[in-house]
Amino acid sequence: MNEQDTESRFEFLKGDKVLWMVILVISIFSIFPVYSASSNLEYIVNNGTTTGHVIKHMFFVVLGLGIMRLAGTVKYEYIGKLSSILLGLMIVLLVVTMFTGQTIDGASASRWLKIPGTPISFQPSSFAFLMLIIYLCRYLTKKITRERLPIENIMYIFGPILLVFVLVAKDNGSTALMILMVSVVVLIIGQLHWKYIAGFISSSFVAIVLFLIIALNTNLIGGNRVHTWMSRIETFTSAKAKTADVDDESVKAKNYQVMQAKAAIVHGGITGMGPGKSALKQMLPQSASDFIFAVIVEEYGVIGAAFLISMYLIMMIRIVMIASKMPAFFGSLLVLSLGVMIFMQLSVNIAVAVNLIPVTGQPLPLISYGGTSMLVTYLQLGIILNISSRIQIYDEEGMGKKQSVAEINDIA
């Protein structure tokens, strides 16, 4: 009786308990840097109040945790079966966004779609990315037992990837590139034949080059942001090379965001300035979202950054462990694929903050201020936790009973 009570008490945290704890720690921690950095939105951008922004962030944290828990109540197989329908819906929304999309918080790209009759806006690209990856995992699992015809790969694998890529690329180049990269990783993990993967990569490269040439030299693709992308890459390479023929003041002006981020990181030192005491957050554009890692380092120092990165590292390790213990191929492939999505976004955000790659608009998972990306990340983690709760053990007679709480707590 006592053992049953214990299991039911922990059943709310369905799935891997270590992963649950890491998610909760990061979620709670996110409130402090967002509260500090959002003062930039109030006093510099003149958008809302610091209290209002942190309450909004806390609302999305609670909502995200609720979505994550709700995802654990639905069989992940059903999510896979519905992925093709949901992907189709997201593609329709991406098309609508191309014509009626909005910009918010000073962004220069029309990535947001407003829900009619409400003040709520969201980015369809984030949900389309997620649905595409789930769809690919499901399709690769269904057809793994036989050789696919080339026409099948073109229509049901490469076609959806390129369609989503093209619809997203016009206004969100970094996300479109991530969609392409993660999709290729999923195809590799999903055991698609190498000749098809190589052909897809080659064809995609040629298509991207042609797109850039047409966009840079003609007006056939209106409203694209290719010139913005090229400017960021040129600024990044010029600042790195420090060439003599480059106007230093021009480079500094274009590289302002990264320079302020680097200054904030250096200012933080080992122990940091203390919570809320960032001196450079008011001069750092997008300090509450894209560059929030720099604010974290300035306020909490290398020690705080190391703690946060260690939390992410534990998250990634648990995801790999869950995938390795899941006997069903679809479940294992889906866990690894979602983990790759989170890891890619995490790596890109930190790499931008420390000036390893050109500036992009990728938020820090579970930390950055903003609704759509945060909710999608919670949904991803909810699916992973759902799958972890379905891990079973083998006994001498075959498949055994569902793991106990103690066994799930240490799935290694």
Q: What residue spans define the domains of the chain?
A: 16-397
* Distant-in-sequence, close-in-space partners of 176: CB < 8 Å, separation ≥ 6: 165, 166, 168, 169
pLDDT digits (tens, 9 = 90+) for 104-143: 554 545 567 777 766 677 788 899 999 999 999 999 888 6
Q: What is the pLDDT of residue 252?
A: 56
Backbone CA torsion sign across 66, 130, 317, 371: negative
**What is the maximal distance between C-alpha atoms in the chain?**
78
With DSSP H G I counted as helix, E B as strand and the rest as coil, what are the percentages for the chain, rounded to 5?
70, 5, 30
Nearest C-alpha neighbor of 162 from the set 85, 91, 220: 91
- Given a cut of 60, whether residue 248 has pLDDT beyond it is no
Tokens 């369905």 belong to 14
Cite the DSSP H helix spans in 242-328.
248-254, 256-268, 292-325
- Given a cut of 50, whether residue 285 has pLDDT beyond it is yes
Q: How confident is the model at residue 380 (pLDDT cuts 50, 70, 90)?
A: very high
The CA distance from 360 to 293, in Å, is 14
CA distances to 15, 67, 253 from 11, rounded to whole Å, are 8, 16, 54
Top mean-pLDDT range of 135-139, 243-247, 353-357: 135-139
Contacts 24+ apart (CB under 8 A), 39-47: 39/281, 39/282, 40/281, 40/282, 40/284, 40/287, 40/288, 41/105, 41/288, 43/282, 44/282, 45/105, 45/106, 47/105
Q: What is the pLDDT of residue 101?
A: 63
Tokens 């790499």 belong to 351
Q: What is the pLDDT of residue 74?
A: 85
- Given a cut of 70, whether residue 100 has pLDDT beyond it is yes
- Given a cut of 80, whether residue 270 has pLDDT beyond it is yes
Q: What is the pLDDT of residue 90?
A: 92
- Given a cut of 80, whether residue 410 has pLDDT beyond it is no
Helix (H, G, I), strand (E, B) or coil at 213: helix
Compare 364 and 405 and report the one with higher pLDDT: 364
Residue 102, number of CB atoms within 10 A of its CB: 12
CA dihedral of residues 33, 34, 40, 42 (deg, nearest 10): -140
**Phi, then psi, of 371 in degrees rounded to 5:** -90, -50
- Given a cut of 60, whether residue 408 has pLDDT beyond it is no
Q: What is the DSSP letter of 115?
A: P
- Given a cut of 50, whether residue 244 has pLDDT beyond it is no
Q: What is the pLDDT of residue 309?
A: 95
